[in-house]
Amino acid sequence: MRKRIFVLCALVLFLCFFARAGGAQKGLKVFISVDMEGISGVIHWDDVSRKGDDYPLFRKFMTQETNAAIVGALEAGATEILVRDSHGSARNILPDLLRHEPELLRDWSGGPLIMMEGIDKTFDAVIFIGYHARAGTPDAVLKHTMTGTIFDVVLNGKKMPEAGINGAIAGHFDVPVVMVTGDLAICKQANELFGDVETVAVKEGIGKAAKMLHPVKAQELIKKKTTAALKRLKDFKPYKPKPPFTMEITFTEEEIAERSSWIPGAKRSGDRSVSFTSNDFMEILKFFRLAR
């Protein structure tokens, strides 16, 4: 009898320890950064501008694609989701149409995390919705890098789309990018940078034109691929360029390069280029925030 009681008590203690140590699977915490140029149907700058006649329609599509990712994340076990509105004014997603489960981060704080504001080490995964290719990419819809004043951004020798810069920010906090949606060009650039992450190409550029998926079809794929990405979370690693970090920015105008070269630590590296090197990635982000 005593032996039975001892074995039973030992079993109970083991189960309690196992649960406290994390034996029970914790819910996923997911960060979703949402841009607009890569949303289904979008083809012209008017579509993503408050002055455009169709901007209200594409705000709706932007919100619906975000909702699709949210549903996919919930089905994969997400218990916390933060949605970061990352386009233009950062006031595009329609709060009343957004699902109620996530928190929504709107507007700009002025800090160096920009499109990744709110990210920290507590997140398990990052998803990019509605992203676009870097400036100068052929057959890419509304390609650019952050602002119209930047021609190119190179980090540790690699040309960066916004997804690359933001993926490196996520990597700084040891969080992997698991899915990217947008046009075919950004999906290819994401795979080049991050490896075999899930992607959804909602359109394919043909010069300044593009052939598109129907918005409903795009949303269905985003939901499906979000769930798939989070269910294979162990397959992904954070994108972490190695120090020392060097960022070189080439601007469209020499005047902007001259002005940016006055940032402490920055060096003029070409007629329209400025570079900055540091072992601290946050210092790189501060430079990038100021040099525009």
Contacts with 98 (C-beta within 8 Å, 6 or more apart), sequence order: 63, 66, 67, 70, 83, 104
Alpha carbon 187 to its chain centroid, in Å, reads 12
Beta-sheet strands, E only, within the chain? 28-34, 78-85, 103-105, 125-131, 150-155, 158-159, 177-183, 198-206, 209-212, 245-251, 267-268, 273-278
Phi, psi dihedral angles at 217 (to 5 degrees):
-60, -40
Angstrom CA distances, 8 to 3, 17, 258, stand at 9, 14, 75
Structure tokens that stand for 163 in this block: 């997804």
Structure tokens that stand for 170 in this block: 């996520």
Active site residues: 144
Closest Cα partner for 131 from 227, 32, 217? 32
Determine contact, residues 275/269, Cβ cutoff 8 Å. yes
Question: Where do we find the tokens 């289904």?
Answer: 40
